[in-house]
Amino acid sequence: MAKKKETPVKRALKPEDVNAYIAGAGTMIDQPITQTLETNFMPYAMSIIVSRAIPEIDGFKPSHRKLLYTMYTMGLLSGPRIKSANIAGQTMQLNPHGDQAIYDTMVRLSRGYQALLHPYVDSKGNFGKAYSRDMQCAASRYTEAKLEPIAAELFRDIDKDTVDFVDNYDATKKEPKLFPVTFPSILVNANTGIAVGMASSICPFNLKEICETTIAYLYDENINVADTLTGPDFPLGGQLLYNREELEKIYATGKGGFKVRGKYTYDKSANCIDITEIPPTTTVEAIIEKIIDLCKAKKITEINDVRDETGLQGLKITIDLKRGADPDKLMLKLFKLTTLQDTFSCNFNILIAGVPRVMGIREILEEWTAFRIECVKRRIYFTLSKAKDKLHILKGLEKILLDIDKAIRIVRETEEEKDVVPNLMIGFSIDQTQAEYVAEIKLRHLNREYILKRTDEIEKLTAQIKELETTLASKAKIKNVIIAELKEIIKKYGQPRKTEIIDAKAEPEADFQPEIPDYPVTLFFTHDGYFKKITPQSLRMSGEHKLKDGDSIVQTVETTNTAHLLFFTDRCQVYKTRAFEFDDTKASVLGDYVPASLSFDKDEMPVFMAVTKDYSGYMLFVFENGKIAKVDMQAYSTKTNRKKLLAAFSEKFPLAKAMQISEDCEVLLYASNGRKLLVHTGAIAAKTTKNTQGVNCMSLKKGHRVTDAVVFSEDLLSSPHRYRTKTLPAAGKLPSAEEAGEQLTL
Q: What share of the chain is helix, strand, coil (3-state, %, to 5)?
A: 35, 20, 40
Query: Under a CB-based contact definition with an 8 Å cutoff, are residues 367 and 472 in contact?
Result: no
- Give bridge partners of residue 350 from the DSSP assignment: 357
- Rounded to a whole number, what is the largest CA-CA distance in the chain? 157
CA-derived radius of gyration, the chain: 43
Query: Under a CB-based contact definition with an 8 Å cutoff, are residues 600 and 649 in contact?
Result: no
User: How many helices (H) and strands (E) in the chain?
Assistant: 22, 32
Q: For 416-485, give the DSSP string.
A: SGGGHHHHHHHHHT--HHHHHHHHT--GGG-SHHHHHHHHHHHHHHHHHHHHHHHHHH-HHHHHHHHHHH
What is the C-alpha to C-alpha distance for residues 624 and 605, in angstroms, rounded to an integer?
Answer: 19
Instruction: Report the 10 Å Cβ neighbour count for 529.
Output: 23
The three-point CA angle 509-514-515 to 5° equals: 115
Give the contacts of 188 (CB within 8 A, at least 6 positions apart): 59, 117, 118, 204, 205, 207, 210
Specify the amino acid at residue 231: G
Catalytic residues, by residue number, are 142
Return contacts of 370-373, CB within 8 angstroms, 24+ apart: 371/57, 371/58, 371/178, 372/180, 372/181, 372/182, 372/482, 373/475, 373/478, 373/479, 373/482
Please state, in angstroms and as integers, the Cα–Cα distance from residue 410 to each residue in 183, 292, 436, 613, following that order.
55, 94, 14, 117
What is the C-alpha to C-alpha distance for residues 490 and 488, in angstroms, rounded to an integer?
Answer: 5
Please report which helix (H) or strand (E) contains residue 211, including its range: helix 207-219
Q: Nearest 5°: phi and psi at 501?
A: -105, 125
What is the C-alpha to C-alpha distance for residues 706 and 698, in angstroms, rounded to an integer?
Answer: 8
Query: Under a CB-based contact definition with an 8 Å cutoff, are residues 258 and 232 in contact?
Result: yes
Q: Which residues of 219-229 are buried (b: 16+ CB within 10 A; e: fewer)?
A: eeeebebbebb
